[in-house]
Structure 1
Amino acid sequence: MANEIDPSDSMGALYGSRLRRYRLEAGWTQGDLGFRAHVVQSRINQLERATGAKPTLELSKKLDKLLNTDGLLEELTPHVRREAFPDWAQEHLKQEGRATAIQVYMARTFHGLLQTREYAHALLSLSPTLTSEEHLQKRLTGRMGRQPKLKDPKLREFWMVLDEAVLMRPVGSPAIMRGQMARVLEAAQDPHVTVQVLPFAAGGHWPMECSLMMLTLPDGDASAYKEADEFGHLTEENDEVQAYGKGYDRLRAMALPPEQSLDLIQSVMEGTYRAARVPSRFQRRRLAEKQLQRHGGRLVRRGGRRLPGGDARA
């Protein structure tokens, strides 16, 4: 049939074909199964066609129970998730467009939602996989097309922890770097945008080898996405997302307070930078209180999360 896929193509295709077969044997549509499993119909379609995010163990267990598959889908899930995922970034970007909270740690570059066109052009130009100027412009258009998300009224929080290395490593000309840092300082004036710098003085930390993006979706679900050169890993498993969330809380605790972070960025931009010194606990508290007053007295508990009644969710 036209909608079927070849189960020999991949473990994802095998999972999808078995899911489809058992669903049809039960006499259910994709919508019927989605309703019973408490997921949208498009999620079932993605699983059956081996597109989008990979299945979670939690969802596979639900499907096994509903379809009476004797645990087959749960057994296949680890193998599906270990497979190479060629469109690893696409599902994350789709979720980014819907997210109500975005928390990121950037190890090497400024986040795409905050990149100036000049910085993005210089950065994308470095890729060895570019085939033409047209190819570069297509990628640049895609990068810039994401940026309205930062002004989306549904986005309650954008929190970025920026490794100090990002400020120190020039991309393009000095003028491009100054413009990029000015863009970050401007964005940080919005109440829902918080920027922290993780200084070299903080020492070793997790993660050091890649960037991390944490997303909260409108239905309350969350995902975590780790990205390095030519590699990305998206997870929606509750245990993994929660573990990454705790790791992100530690990063925020190690980073400079928001106001001192902006002062550091300003000094780098103006050429008056001095190596950052990690403030004492007392200094952190005073700086945090000052930052809260600037942003209207929003309550923040230790670790950086807002208290109940705010809109943040790690």
Structure 2
Amino acid sequence: MANIRSLDPSASPLDYYGFELRRLREEAKLSQQQLGDILFCTASLIGQIETAKKVPTRRFSEQLDAALMTGGQFTRLIGLVLRSQLPNWFQPYADMEARAMYIQSFQTTLIDGLLQTPEYAREILSARHEGDDLDTKVAARLERQRILERDTPPVLWVVMSEAVLCQEVGGREVMRGQLARLLEMQRREWVKIQILPFSAGAHTGMLGAFNILRFEDDPDVVYTEDFMQGRMTADPAAVREGLIRYDHLQAAALSVESSAALIARVMEERYGGRTAPRGSESA
């Protein structure tokens, strides 16, 4: 095992997490085995996290806070840890996304990451990465969605091609759950989803997906992505062009209500029946 005392807590959020876990565990006079017994995990897992070889989960962090009575320290820290596991080129966008007050997204081939189910996200990420820690990548993507659970969440407006609904990712069960998730999220007043139907023909989004982030005090930002990396710009001309294109896409898309009806119909006809949206009783 690596010498935990050689960890530089300023090297990364994961290193800081491991450093603090070791420090607080020793202050509590607990061995790795004793803490593992309390958390119903192995001493080896504790050691791997303390040496920054394993990324902890949010559930582990919550249990750790309760066991060591830290006042929520690790639960607060886990968000930074998981965000640091996103691709390096994507992290600046994730930071900006977390501060945005209004997010506009146009998607041509897949569900926006803020609306993906764990199963759908796993299929998308497994198609793009081989040999990596898939559980961590899925957890990092889902962590971004926590901005929608805030007391004052950002407005999220998503326009997506009808093709996204028809592209079967992970099989019928995964798609049925994913479309049910869209219907569930559609019920939230700060989330709007529109489907751009095949019948729309040529449109201003045919060159690819893009996002627009809008802020209360900072300039708007346009984000585009290719298979290598993402690009952000606050150039006024680019932002203006993005806004114009988005306005055209919204105008060409079905209404929010008609979009929900189409999502429900596709879910029923293509993926085997209507699934009650999770959490709809509290929507």
TM-score between the two structures when normalised by the length of structure 1: 0.56
Structure 1 counterpart of 2:81: none
Structure 1 counterpart of 2:50: none
Q: Which amino acid aligns with 2:102?
A: A
In structure 2, C-alpha distance between the alignment counterparts of 1:250 and 1:207, rounded to whole Å: 9
In structure 1, C-alpha distance between the alignment counterparts of 2:154 and 2:120, rounded to whole Å: 26
CA contact (8 A) 2:147 2:154 kept: no
Question: Across the two proteins, how many residue pairs are aligned to each other?
Answer: 185
TM-aligned CA deviation for residue 232 of structure 1: 2.1
- Counterpart selection for 1:219 from 217, 220, 223: 217
| Cα deviation 1:22-52 (Å, max 9, x = unaligned) | xxxxxxxxxxxxxxxxxxxxxxxxxxxxxxx
Structure 1 counterpart of 2:185: 187
| Cα deviation 1:97-136 (Å, max 9, x = unaligned) | 1111111001111011110001101111111x4224xx21
TM-aligned CA deviation for residue 87 of structure 1: 4.1
Over 3 Å counting, the alpha-carbon distance change for 1:210 and 1:229 in structure 2 is farther
Structure 2 counterpart of 1:124: 125
Structure 1 counterpart of 2:169: 171
Gaps of 5+ in 2: 1-86, 272-283
CA contact (8 A) 2:120 2:178 kept: yes
In structure 1, C-alpha distance between the alignment counterparts of 2:88 and 2:270, rounded to whole Å: 42
Structure 2 counterpart of 1:266: 264
Over 3 Å counting, the alpha-carbon distance change for 1:272 and 1:126 in structure 2 is closer
In structure 1, C-alpha distance between the alignment counterparts of 2:246 and 2:158, rounded to whole Å: 10
| Cα deviation 1:62-104 (Å, max 9, x = unaligned) | xxxxxxxxxxxxxxxxxxxxxxxx9432211110011111110
Q: Which amino acid aligns with 2:245?
A: G
Q: Which amino acid aligns with 1:172?
A: G
- Counterpart selection for 2:146 from 148, 153, 164: 148
Structure 2 counterpart of 1:105: 106
In structure 1, C-alpha distance between the alignment counterparts of 2:241 and 2:175, rounded to whole Å: 34
Q: Give the aligned CA root-mean-square deviation in angstroms.
A: 1.7
* Greater alpha carbon shift after TM alignment, 259-268 vs 197-206: 197-206
Gaps of 5+ in 1: 1-85, 274-314
In structure 2, C-alpha distance between the alignment counterparts of 1:158 and 1:105, rounded to whole Å: 11
Q: Which amino acid aligns with 1:141?
A: A
Q: Which amino acid aligns with 1:170?
A: E
CA contact (8 A) 1:209 1:228 kept: no
Q: Which amino acid aligns with 2:171?
A: S
TM-aligned CA deviation for residue 168 of structure 1: 0.6
Over 3 Å counting, the alpha-carbon distance change for 1:203 and 1:189 in structure 2 is same
Amino-acid identity (%)? 37
TM-aligned CA deviation for residue 226 of structure 1: 1.1
